[in-house]
Amino acid sequence: MRKFLALYVNEMIKISRKIVVIIILAIMIVGVISFGGLMKIQQASITNQTGNIDNATWAKEEMKNRLADFKLQLADIEQKISSAKTEEEKSMFQLEKINIMQQVELYQLAVDMDINLNGNGFKSKVLNDLAAQKSQMQQIELIPADRRTKEQDISFSQNKRKIADYEAILKTGDFAKYIEIKNQEIDKDDTLTSDEKKLKKETNLLWLKLDPKGEAGNDGNGILESTLGQIENYKRSLLNNIDYTSQTQFLKPLTPAGRKDVENNLAILLYKAENQMIETNFNSASQIQEAAISGMFGFGIFMMVCMMLILAGGAISQEMSTGSIKSLIISPTKRYKIFLAKLASLVTVGIFSALVLYVVSMITNGLFFGFDSGASYVFAINGVAQQLNFYMYRFAFLFVNFIDVIVYTMLAYMLSIITRNTAASVGISIAVYFGGSLANTFLSLMAKGEWLKFIPFNNLSLAPRIFPDPSAANVGIGSIFGYTAVVPSTLFSGIYLAVLVICMGYIALDSFNRRDIK
């Protein structure tokens, strides 16, 4: 152990004097800070945009245009009525006029109350409902009162009451009242089962809770609506044990694993809803921040891998070619200790650079976007949601990415020992790092089967599997060609990678132990 420590200290001294380490760390730091700065500039330019019209203004203009359009149509139809030759023709135009007048009334209201009828806000729903009720009522009104059926009478009075309600809601903007009315309607609907009623009412109440003033979605986005839909779908899946979440047209029963996934996903969304973590509107600032962090990490890890491959690829071969290995071999240490000390020093440098990357990224993020601005990560285990704060989450995320770095470092180290040629081992390992996943994609296109699980590249990149992003769709090159990538379970991949690293290490150690040094 004393010898190992001495060797380790020596290796650290050697690495610390290597110019490549200093250069790459410097590039990493400068790159991360500049990337953060660029994204900050991008964010500022989007939020302060003066040239472009934002969605809400655009919607307002659209409403005005539609109104003007319908007014023109109204004038046109009035002219047609006045110039109609037969009574029949006249009454037909009259009917059309009623329709157009309804539209004019609707859009006039929309313009007056600043409501986007194409949007997903609650007011646009109310207004649309109001228009529908009015149109129903007018249809019944066309029938003389004494010739109406009993149902029509009931419907008429219902329509009248609803119209009054909706108009009141529009006047006061009382979103809670709207939800109340909606839920009453659900209660009265005899086509629904009691479970289904409960489900729908819960969704409405959640909506009220997440967006108390009913402001979300007026600019046309459907973010909150789709989230609510997702929650309702998950609940319905669990209720009926049918997978409503899959994209296929044919509904399938939930598998036990699928049920677990749905439970976890539901728990995550409910947890987010509980803690005000659900976005109700499109937030470009936070998305740019996310992009900035993943960009900083991506660049940093890239530089880190380059540095590690250069160091590991030359670890033994460089000492062989310069002859400095002699002073190691002459010293009274067994070769496996030299092997392990070198490996340990490589891992130390890797961890050190990962820490540098983490600290620099977090400080850059803090300075540009605010230290308390990062989104925390919510995950669920056995249906119980848990929260990982932003800094912990990013730390864990970085170190899951570090697993890949270790695997590639081991490959370069093994090649360095076996080939005894620095250029070959650095070159081959960098080629594998960059070309491997692409080659794997093509292999997956050609071949099918369980054996693909045993391809190393299918087991690397654990981060998206350990920290899945439910909001992000995975669009890779594969989806263009229409194949589904082989995704082994995280546990399988973990064991696979451990075995891979141990095997490479064993081959390298055996070669280093037994081969002559000439």
Partner 1 sequence: MSETVLQISNLSKSFGKKKIIDNISFEVYAGEIFGFLGPNGAGKTTTIKMIMGFLSVDEGQIVINGIDLKKNYEKAMSNLGGIVENPEMYKDLSGQTNLEMYGRLHEGVTKERIKEVVELVGMQNRIKDKVKRYSLGMKQRIGLAQAILHHPRVLILDEPTNGLDPAGIKELRDILKTLAHEEGVAVFVSSHLLSEMQLLCDRVAIINNGKLLGVKPIHQLMTDASGGTFYRFITKQSDLAATVLAKDYAKTIKNMTADYIELEIEESEVPEINKLLAMSGVSIFGVNKIETSLEDAFISITGGGNSIA
Residues in contact with partner 1 by CB under 8 A are 3, 6-7, 9-10, 13-14, 17-18, 322-327, 329-334, 514, 516-518
β-bridge mates for residue 378, sequence order: 387
Rounded CA-CA distance 344/362 in Å is 27
Rounded to a whole number of angstroms, the CA Rg of the chain reads: 33
Which residue is listed with tokens 């049918």? Answer: 242
Rounded CA-CA distance 66/177 in Å is 29
What's the closest the beta carbon of residue 511 comes to partner 1, in angstroms?
13
Sequence-separated contacts (24+) of 259-266 with Cβ below 8 Å: 260/382, 260/383, 262/234, 262/237, 262/238, 263/238, 263/380, 263/382, 263/383, 264/379, 264/380, 264/381, 264/382, 264/383, 264/385, 265/234, 265/380, 265/470, 266/231, 266/234, 266/235, 266/238, 266/383
Of 145, 168, 147, 171, give the one whose Cα is nearest residue 157. 145
What's the closest the beta carbon of residue 20 comes to partner 1, in angstroms?
11
Output 320 or 357, the one with its CB closest to partner 1: 320
What's the closest the beta carbon of residue 345 comes to partner 1, in angstroms?
13
Output 284 or 327, the one with its CB closest to partner 1: 327
Rounded CA-CA distance 424/426 in Å is 6
Rounded CA-CA distance 236/225 in Å is 16
Chain centroid to CA 28: 26
Output 149 or 327, the one with its CB closest to partner 1: 327
> Which amino acid is residue 28, in one-letter code?
M
What separation, in Å, do the N-terminal and C-terminal C-alpha atoms of the chain show? 28
What's the closest the beta carbon of residue 350 comes to partner 1, in angstroms?
21
Output 34 or 324, the one with its CB closest to partner 1: 324
Output 256 or 323, the one with its CB closest to partner 1: 323
Output 13 or 381, the one with its CB closest to partner 1: 13
Which residue is listed with tokens 């399938």? Answer: 252
β-bridge mates for residue 379, sequence order: 386
Residue 146: its H or E element: none
